[in-house]
Amino acid sequence: MSKLSRSNSRRRFLAQTGVLALGSVVPFDLKRHNEPLKKEPVIDIHQHIHYHARTDEQMIAHQVAMGVSLSVLLPSGRPVNSAATHQGVSNGLQAQVGGNAETYLFAKEHKKNYRFGACAVPDAPDAVYEIEKYLKLGAVVIGELKFGVECDAPEMHKIYQLARHYDVPVLMHWQHGMYNYGFDRFYKILEQYPRVNFIGHAQTWWANIDKDHRDQSVLYPKGAVSPGGITDRYLSDYANMYGDLSAGSGLNALTRDPEHAKSFLEKHKDKLVYGSDCADIYGTVASGECSGADDIKAIRDFCSKDTQRKLLYENAKKLFKL
């Protein structure tokens, strides 16, 4: 999940005062959304409904503005007060994200352009049942798993086993001290579940492209990158490890050292997938608010046409069986 504190308060104020009407920022036509895009297709594997109170219409307009042809919507688990949600702090993925039922219903109503995932708070008594219910309904991924749990906790093993049984990937939000603990020993999970594809995402995942990243409390490091960090090694050494380029963390990893980014994207061109994970309503580079649009621009600026196709479309199509 990305942090967009700069724009959230302004957006909420405008929405509350009625200034932020649909179409006032992004011209939008529902009929046009159902027409084939003339540009090359883009798959966005990381988006949410109701993200920081964004309306469904605004989210659709945002995806159209970015040129996305197919989006995977990641739900939150059912709200509970438990250790995994930091006693409720992390409900709604700490971003007011819609849950399984509403995400499923939205995706089914807009099935030409949207798919859905399945999620549950791992330490909830019905977590396995809740995830399996939506896998049976057609969920294409488990996640986003953004909870305060050890990555090798018993309840997480149950989720990995579900992923293995239903042959879907698992998308995990890695954030030191807050979400998914034990990044440095996650290789044991990769080895234990070789048939499960895991997708790394968020601050700790992207900070650790740098082998010199020592202070894990620094979530958005700046400056030149020394190749060979934990993330780099996971992608290189494990066939079942993939990376989600989304959010401010993914964009920071690309823009902090453009020369490293070019080589990194080329090196892992078969293991990285594009996602937006941005809560803005604009969907454009010109707005200065959309990390998803900026990510697409960085990929197009840094990569060959072949690598662009892999990152923006082909890898996701294969990984999610779309």
**Assigned domain for 7 exists:** no
Query: 179 phi and psi, to 5 degrees?
Result: -135, 130
Write down the pLDDT at residue 35. Answer: 47
**Assigned domain for 175 exists:** yes
Residue range 215-237, pLDDT digits in tens: 999 999 999 999 999 999 999 99
How far is the C-alpha of 245 from the C-alpha of 257, rounded, in Å? 15
Q: Identify residue 60 by its one-letter amino acid code.
A: I
Average pLDDT over residues 236-241: 98
For residue 4, pLDDT beyond 60: no
Q: Which domain holds residue 100?
A: 37-319
What does the mean pLDDT of the chain come to?
91
Residue range 154-204, pLDDT digits in tens: 999 999 999 999 999 999 999 999 999 999 999 999 999 999 999 999 999
Residue range 118-158, pLDDT digits in tens: 999 999 999 999 999 999 999 999 999 999 999 999 999 99
The CATH number linked to 162 is 3.20.20.140
For residue 33, pLDDT beyond 70: no
- Which of helix, strand or coil describes residue 251? helix
**Assigned domain for 310 exists:** yes
* Domain total of the chain: 1
Residue range 79-101, pLDDT digits in tens: 999 999 999 999 999 999 999 99
| Structural tokens at position 313 | 């479309």
Which residues on neighbouring strands pair with residue 23, listed in sequence order? none
pLDDT category of residue 17 using cuts at 50, 70 and 90 = very low
**Assigned domain for 103 exists:** yes
**Assigned domain for 288 exists:** yes
**Assigned domain for 210 exists:** yes
